A = this chain, B = another copy of it.
């Protein structure tokens, strides 16, 4: 048989793993600096933990795991009946009781509810793990991919919103991507609908202004008009959304628009906490920002690469991060009233942006510093002892395992992309002076073992 990958999944070669580890390590260091602690949950969750949490479409995309032992004879009739239930879209439990996790949020909520008596709240956690979705695979969309989430649950303090903005700012700075961090508040969006006189058309209005980037104000006007929103109502919406500052925005809302006032107050508090913070990136209010409407209740965030930054003009990529405040994460598991706020990083997209910008320069192609080659049994044994000395000194080192021909070993060294090769022949063994070749420059020099240890030891 010809072995193949499962459609929509990827192997990661060493060069790719090193780049991905660099992204995760960079993010992890920032998370830890801000007091977030790691959590890991299992790949498999009870099917009922996941079902109904991601809408009908999400339910369809869950990878369900077949129950074991269905072919045991005494159960066959029951299995047939269970399968019929599954075919009729009813109960699938007889056939499948487990599924692969679809995101990190629901398992996090499950963990919080199960461990509520042991957790000290506010609970700050980060989680970097794979998730699986049965989406149709396409460019940039995979059936197995990593999510990278940080959340704090059990506090409604807006200090955390400020902290998460700083985490985005510092994380992307550490990753060497210039970004724009967009902020809005779901209550402002609701306030707009009220201010415009269409409190029941909040969804319609939000969907329309979310498209402003693509269709412009003419397009938004047309779309809103088709839904019966025009004239003065449209003018109010346009004025609010076009506000560039908090004070402009405040002037747009009536004092009795209490939801808008609450949204304004929240944004002001966040910015008060950010007062004096010297950001590396642009932090922008953006009243067109919507994100998952049904989920968030307060501030919402989104991060995009800043195409006005030097060298980043060609980056074509949607959001590389997003998140916000939610008020009832654990409600689905019977524990209401826990406010939380979280953000996530789009690791695969960040990877693609860094690759496009050629900004993985801190990541070596090969972590091996020295590669030894020997050409007869005696010098192989001698070289292997020097390799051991180098390793004992903390120098990542490797050796060709046989006294093969020079060409063969050199070709191998080339393909492995070793930075430096140490040549050990009879002459070198007798003189104690080894030939160290820089594979990039081609430069060679003679060095004793002591000199090698001194130069390359960490």
Chain A contacts to B: CB under 8 angstroms: 1-6, 9-14, 17-18, 21, 32-35, 37-46, 48-49, 60-61, 63-66, 68-71, 76, 79-80, 83-84, 86-89, 95-96, 98, 100, 110-111, 113-115, 120, 122, 124-125, 130, 132, 134, 143-144, 155, 157, 159-160, 162, 166, 170, 272-273, 275-277, 333-334, 366-368, 371, 380-381, 384-385, 388, 391, 394-399, 401-402, 412, 415-416
Contact = CB atoms under 8 A, between A and B. Distances in A.
A391 B34 contact: yes
A38 B14 contact: yes
Contacts of A83: 79-80, 83
Nearest to A41: B11
A451 B398 CA distance: 45
Of the candidates A89, A157, A394, the one having the most CB atoms from chain B within 10 angstroms of its own CB is A157
Given A12-B40, A66-B95, A402 B157 contact: yes
B34 A14 contact: no
A69 to B, nearest CB: 8
Contacts of A391: 33-34, 166, 170
Given A11-B111, A11-B114, A32-B396, 17 more contacts: A2-B333, A4-B46, A5-B42, A6-B46, A9-B44, A13-B115, A33-B391, A33-B396, A35-B371, A35-B396, A43-B43, A63-B65, A66-B96, A71-B86, A80-B87, A155-B401, A166-B388
A194 B333 CA distance: 65
A122 B408 CA distance: 12
Given A49-B3, A113-B3, A32 B65 contact: no
B132 A43 contact: yes
19 contacts: A5-B42, A6-B42, A12-B40, A13-B39, A17-B37, A32-B367, A34-B391, A35-B398, A35-B399, A44-B132, A60-B68, A64-B65, A65-B100, A66-B95, A71-B89, A124-B398, A155-B402, A157-B401, A272-B381
A398 B66 contact: no
Contacts of A4: 46, 49, 114
A25 to B, nearest CB: 10
B367 A14 contact: no
Contacts of A45: 6
Contacts of A380: 159
Nearest to A162: B384
Contacts of A334: 1-2
Of the candidates A130, A384, A401, the one having the most CB atoms from chain B within 10 angstroms of its own CB is A401
B277 A388 contact: yes
Given A39-B11, A71-B86, A79-B87, A1 B367 contact: no
A66 B65 contact: yes
Contact of A88 (B1, B12, B71, B399): B71
A399 B163 CA distance: 10
Instruction: Please provide the 5 A-B residue pairs with the shortest distance between their CB atoms, ordered closest to farther.
Output: A35-B398, A157-B401, A14-B37, A9-B42, A120-B415
A30 to B, nearest CB: 9
Contacts of A371: 35
A18 B38 contact: yes
B71 A87 contact: yes
A276 B387 CA distance: 13
Contacts of A68: 60-61, 63, 134
Given A60-B68, A66-B65, A120-B415, A366 B37 contact: yes
A287 to B, nearest CB: 26
Contacts of A381: 272-273, 275
Of the candidates A6, A60, A111, A276, the one having the most CB atoms from chain B within 10 angstroms of its own CB is A6
Contacts of A40: 11-12, 17
Nearest to A121: B412
Of the candidates A89, A98, A272, the one having the most CB atoms from chain B within 10 angstroms of its own CB is A98
Contacts of A96: 66
Contact of A17 (B39, B70, B394): B39
